[in-house]
Amino acid sequence: MLSVHTSPLEQPGTGDAGGMNVYISQTATEMARRGINVEVFTRATSSDQPPVAELAPGVLVRHVPAGPFEPLGRDELPAQLCAFTSGVLRTEAFHEPGYYDVIHSHYWLSGQVGWLARDRWGVPLVHTAHTLAKVKNAALADGDTPEPRTRVIGEEQIVAEADRLVANTAVEARELVGLYGAAPQAVHTVSPGVDLDRFTPGSKAAARAELGLPADAVILAFAGRIQPLKAPDVLLHAAAAMLRRDPSLADRLVVLIVGGPSGSGLEQPQALKELAVTLGIERQTRFLPPQPGPALVRVYRAADVVAVPSYNESFGLVAVEAQACGTPVVAAEVGGLPVAVAHGVSGLLVPTHRARDWAGALASVALRPERHGELAANAVAHARRFSWRRTTDALLDAYASASVSFGALRTEVAV
């Protein structure tokens, strides 16, 4: 597996670490349980990192020196792709030919490396975009920076070269075909999963006590990277609107923001806190740094509603994790979120990003106990449709399909 810009060893929720890190870690670990050796190549960001680290038994993470030993912005990484590719090819050269069977690249930067390694090693390339520049640029948040043309061209090249493209949802599959000209037979739709052993329902009172939150509070939670794309500001505006409608909530409402600045959000790391002050809800708003898995479970269990107001999501792992913990989700009706959330069953989908619409949706779930209870029960059942075991089954089918078509192509060329 190739993951140039972020390592599966990093904590999701800050920097460039997010759902993709979880995806790689979980699928690689599940493959290793089945006796498949997995190596993940990622860029070294510190001289303290060992050349090779074990993520799980059977899963190695290789830190490839490429550029300075420090984090780089994604706009700076294309200049390091030659160095990264050289490191990947050099590693393979120490093995007998045919050591690697399949390359699975994650995100467009990795796809550029995978495309070259595919031709050099004579093995199929499977690519997962995770996000697409043309889709993101069509749904930018106010003030957000468009994805550069360099990325658009890079994605078009990968779509043309990859043996199989893995889409998170049918919507993304259609985008690959319609916007990028992907061959329909090359696209496999594989839904991400959720760790159903970790993310489970539990005591709301205990979770609130551990987080130091009032037992009788109305808690609206956001978990993710703090950047315009993820739109945590929409939740703050909605919370302020709820208080204007019902001032009696002032002593009970808690808006819990879990995550760290990322992407264009790094330019104004205090912007969200400043917005809470401007809206007059600083007393109701609490900020927590990114939380590891067990602590994130507490956040989900403690919340009455988890909000996912993103302008674009290829799937929405946070939404499924929260539902697996028995917490209804209110999400934007964009990208893969209509797959992750069953509207009116496990949560609600909001077709706009207007504060009044979000305030109404959040209140209709958090402040109506009977409806909340029904959605919470359905949320658990809905989340159980997604598992990393099922995701891995489908990925292995995609690998097998890619190997067959790649072998046929090589035979054709030879003839």
Residues placed in the known binding site for 1D-myo-inositol 3-phosphate: 5, 16-21, 74, 107, 131, 151
Cβ-proximal residues to 342 (8 Å cutoff; 6+ apart), any chain: 378, 382
Contact 104, 126 (CB under 8 A): yes
Token pair 């920076």 is found at 145
Binding residues: 5, 11-12, 16-21, 74, 107, 131, 151, 225, 230, 291, 300-301, 303, 313, 321, 327
Alpha carbons 335 and 311: distance in angstroms, whole number: 8
Residue 326 Cα distances to 146, 202, 204, 207, 305, angstroms: 36, 8, 10, 13, 10
Question: What span, in angstroms and rounded, lies between the C-alpha atoms of 149 and 129?
Answer: 16
Give the DSSP letter string of 10-36: SPTTSTT-SHHHHHHHHHHHHHHHTT-
d(CA 11, CA 292): 7
Contacts of 142 (CB under 8 A, 6+ apart): 228
Distance CA 103, CA 162 (A): 10
DSSP conformation class of 2 = B
Binding-site residue set for UDP-N-acetyl-alpha-D-glucosamine: 11-12, 19, 225, 230, 291, 313, 321
Positions at the binding site for Mg(2+): 300-301, 303, 327
| 3-state per-residue secondary structure call for 205-241 | HHHHHHHCCCCCCEEEEEECCECHHHCHHHHHHHHHH
